Amino acid sequence: MKKIAAFTLALGLAFGGAAYLPYTAQQTGAIVAHAENSSGAFVINEFGNGTCSIKKCVSPNTENIVIPETLFGNTVVEIDEDAFMFHKHMKTVVIPDTVKIIHKDAFYSCYELTSVQMSKNVEVLEDQAFFDCTKLSSINIPSSVLYIGRICFANTALKNVTIPAKVCVLGSEVFSGCKELETLVLPSMLDSIPQSMCYDCSRLRSVTIPENVCNISDSAFRGCTSLKSLNIPARVQNVGSYAIGFDANSNKVSGFTAKVTAGTAGEEYAKYCGINYVYAGGSSGGRGDANCDGKVNAADVTRVAAHVKGIRALNSEGKANADVNGDGKVNVTDVSKIAAHVKGKKSL
């Protein structure tokens, strides 16, 4: 059965009904509560099995907080919902390696928080756990993490983020509004890019979509105006609306190029949206790729020549790619231009 740690009651008797520990004159030191002397400023929930959670931090003026591994004989394994919410002065926090779950809104809107030393064994970061920590620029996400909830790190100042390989689910808008985010490494086990994952991350310039991803949701990278190139893996079966290559106002990002594989959802998205794209083989927008294999080489010259001679007609996509001069016809001129490209004399 959960209960508030008995130390709050004892303090109430000792200090004329006060619910929490009295503050000392020094307010900027680290808070560390010790069971043996009942000092500290945390309210806990005991789980009855020798473990507990941090229910509330009750030292709102403290800048550097250290959460101990044990409190009053109980191992700290969770940080409860809203435990540090709206803490006005906390700048750093150390979360012990005993903690496995950080619940919803645990550090919501801690505006002065700049650095988090995360538990090396945490497995779950719930929704909005660090949402709107606008100065948070440093956090280590350990390899133990399996799930990161929606809006978990949105509106923070994180710059370079690597998500561990074991993470298979990310919540929507997880990095939305991270204006300082520059690089993002996604986990290899991820199979879906969530909606608005990096919405309006205007400084994001480098991200790699894992080969296992089969879905890129709406607005996943919308507003990422510094992102000029992105590979859409061949396994992707769906690319949502404004997912890639658009700013927050739905305009195409200048200079953006998608890297796609012929005949895939990535190619279909690029063509439908009218954004620049190249195939995996490096050809530009399919021009010259008469056999639609993602490359422009001697085989395409032969294929176009066969079409012109009436030996073997191209399909509709092959015709569109073969018409490199854009006159609506496939003829000797196109054969010559593709051949010149293949020989390196003049690029298409």
Q: In this predicted model, what pLDDT tens digit does every residue of 251-271 receive, in sequence order?
A: 999 999 999 988 899 999 999
Asked if residue 298 has pLDDT above 50, the reply is yes
**Residue 143 confidence class, pLDDT cut points 50, 70, 90:** very high
How far apart (Å, rounded) are the C-alpha atoms in residues 151 and 23? 34
**Residue 284 confidence class, pLDDT cut points 50, 70, 90:** low
Nearest to 338 by CA among 323, 317, 328: 323
Asked if residue 7 has pLDDT above 80, the reply is no
Asked if residue 146 has pLDDT above 50, the reply is yes
Residue 334, CA distances (Å) to 88, 147, 271, 329 in order: 68, 53, 22, 9
Average pLDDT over residues 28-56: 67
Sheet harboring 206-208: ordered strands across?
Answer: 160-162, 183-185, 206-208
Asked if residue 27 has pLDDT above 90, the reply is no
Contact (Cβ atoms closer than 8 angstroms) between residue 28 and residue 62: yes
**Going by C-beta distance under 8 Å and a sequence separation of 6 or more, which residues neighbour residue 254?**
none
Give the chain's mean pLDDT. 86
How far apart (Å, rounded) are the C-alpha atoms in residues 329 and 297? 20
How far apart (Å, rounded) are the C-alpha atoms in residues 31 and 88? 15
Residue 329 DSSP code = -
Q: Tell me the per-residue pLDDT of 164-210, one tens digit each, with 9 for 90 and over.
A: 999 999 999 999 999 999 999 999 999 999 999 999 999 999 998 99
Identify which has the larger pLDDT, 15 or 327: 327
**Residue 39 confidence class, pLDDT cut points 50, 70, 90:** very low
Average pLDDT over residues 217-227: 98
Beta bridge partners of 160: 183
pLDDT, residue 295, reads 80
pLDDT, residue 16, reads 30
pLDDT, residue 58, reads 86
Asked if residue 41 has pLDDT above 60, the reply is yes
Written in H, E and C, the secondary structure of 57-80 is ECCCCCCEEECCCEECCEEEEEEC
What global pTM score does this model have? 0.74
